[in-house]
Amino acid sequence: MYILENLEPKKVFKFFEEISLIPRGSGNERAIADYLVEFATQRNLWVNKDNNNNVIIKKPATKGYENSKTVILQGHTDMVTEKNSDTIHDFKKDPIQLYIDGDFVKARGTTLGADNGIAVAMALAFLDSNEYKHPNIEALFTSEEETGMFGALAVNEQLLNGKILLNIDSEEEGIFLASCAGGIRQCIELPINYVDVKKDSISYEIMIKGLCGGHSGQDIDKELANSNVLMGRVLSEIDDIIDVNIISIEGGAKDNAIPRECTCKISIEEKDEDKFLSIINECSNVFKNEFRVNEPNLELCVEKSSIVQKCFDTDTTKKVIATILLIPNGVKAMSLDIKGLVETSNNLGVIKIKDDVVKFNCATRSSVLTRKKMLISEMKILANLVKAKHSVSGDYPAWEYKEESFVRDVFVKTYKDMYGKTPKVDAIHAGLECGLLIEKMPYLDMISFGPNISGAHTPEEKLSISSTKRVWEFLLNVLENLK
């Protein structure tokens, strides 16, 4: 029995549920790639899998479409692996636990993987059917999109003949994307100097939780709280009044997700306990007031912790606090060309300790290359000031808007014909693989679209059932019109 078997379109939801059984966090795509190869082999379709677990499946055109431009259906197989702190789930072996809530498909306590499993499911449903009119189809399934678009970087364009690319990785029905931001990952690594904990000290664990979280691109302008930044503020308030030493700190899970939780263990002198608790109470009131509208479930709480032998020395503690507070976070600039579009942003997504180093991982985005370089310079200067190491990875280009686009015109006309209204053509402050793919294949005419998905990159992720049905029907009409 499929949980989603009574949903329409049946094949789309059937394949979505099947791939939800396969663990496919970024970097763990071999099983889903093998599944795709087996799918194609069983249907006698041309298939290729590369060493990066990218998969290409080809399907010949139907009668009358043999001379039409080949269309690439593209999405990524990996998903963000986030879960609630009280959820027991191993993303390397456990299937996603799906359930239906009204018009939505959701997951129990974890990310759903509709980003971008719905693209995979739609492509498979189309490849599995013989009832639709269409040009030659090349389904391109890429890997490791969420951690740096490494799959798209490794795509062998010589295997593709497509001139039109439909990226099914957008999350608002009726909004077609024709441009996206570029981005890069940045990391500051601060060495830890440990000292013995003072004899008259006590330990506390500070916890920030209950935040909404969100996508570090699409949700960065929603004034959501960042748990890592809030922890920096708490530590700064404590350090201003009493002596404090950090024992450990950990916040966030992915640099491209706005972090929802952060935990920090500290050591303070026993005589300062009342002052400490007073500071925590004051910070809690401040945060609840500041974020009363958009973070109603925000919690700042503390509990006594077991005694430890070592803690960060005072200099390292102060450097950690300074780094958190000085890392650029949130919206840095709005577009002057497109009203309401974020141009440049940075997200302090992860703080963690590894090999006696505190790592601060950020996702930087901008549709203007020089602004992206400016943020890199700011992070480098900060790293130098606190005597830390700075590094970058996963650099990907922006996808620039084209004044003329055949596929965009077809999308707009098809939408008008189906719904009697004009869709919105927009840009997005998030990375899409379109930027990398058009660098490899500059002749591509491309557009990005998809059904309504909210809460991507968080355990609140949900996929609209009715929107999925409409977008599927729209895709079928578009492919028929691309003659």
Contacts of 4 by beta carbon, 8 Å cutoff, 6+ apart: 13, 14, 16, 17, 98, 100, 105
Position 29 scores a pLDDT of 98
Is 145 considered catalytic here? yes
Position 400 scores a pLDDT of 86
Q: 410 with 176: CB under 8 angstroms?
A: no
Q: Is 123 exposed, middle or buried (0-12, 13-18, 19+ CB in 10 A)?
A: buried
Let me know whether 403 and 388 are in one domain: no
Of 115, 145, 172, 433, the catalytic one is 145
Domain count within the chain: 2
Let me know whether 259 and 355 are in one domain: yes
Q: What is the pLDDT of residues 145-183, one digit of tens each?
A: 998 899 999 999 999 999 999 999 999 999 999 999 999
Q: Which parts of the chain register pLDDT below 70?
A: 1
Of 17, 18, 78, 461, the catalytic one is 78
Position 302 scores a pLDDT of 98
Domain range enclosing 369: 185-396
Closest CA to 226 of 236, 212, 246: 212
Let me know whether 168 and 94 are in one domain: yes
| Measured distance CA(120)–CA(266) in Å, rounded | 45
Quick one: DSSP state of residue 382? H
Q: What is the pLDDT of residues 407-417, one digit of tens each?
A: 999 999 999 99
Let me know whether 369 and 258 are in one domain: yes
Pairing of strands 357-366, 182-191: antiparallel
Is 355 considered catalytic here? no
Let me know whether 157 and 207 are in one domain: no
Q: 459 with 107: CB under 8 angstroms?
A: yes
Position 273 scores a pLDDT of 97
Angle at 317 between CA 284 and CA 279, to 5 degrees: 20
Position 1 scores a pLDDT of 66
Helix (H, G, I), strand (E, B) or coil at 196: strand
| Total-model pTM | 0.77
Closest CA to 166 of 434, 443, 472, 463: 434
Let me know whether 321 and 433 are in one domain: no
Let me know whether 235 and 120 are in one domain: no
Position 430 scores a pLDDT of 85
CA 338 to chain centre: 23
Position 405 scores a pLDDT of 96
Q: What is the pLDDT of residues 75-97, one digit of tens each?
A: 999 999 999 989 999 999 999 99
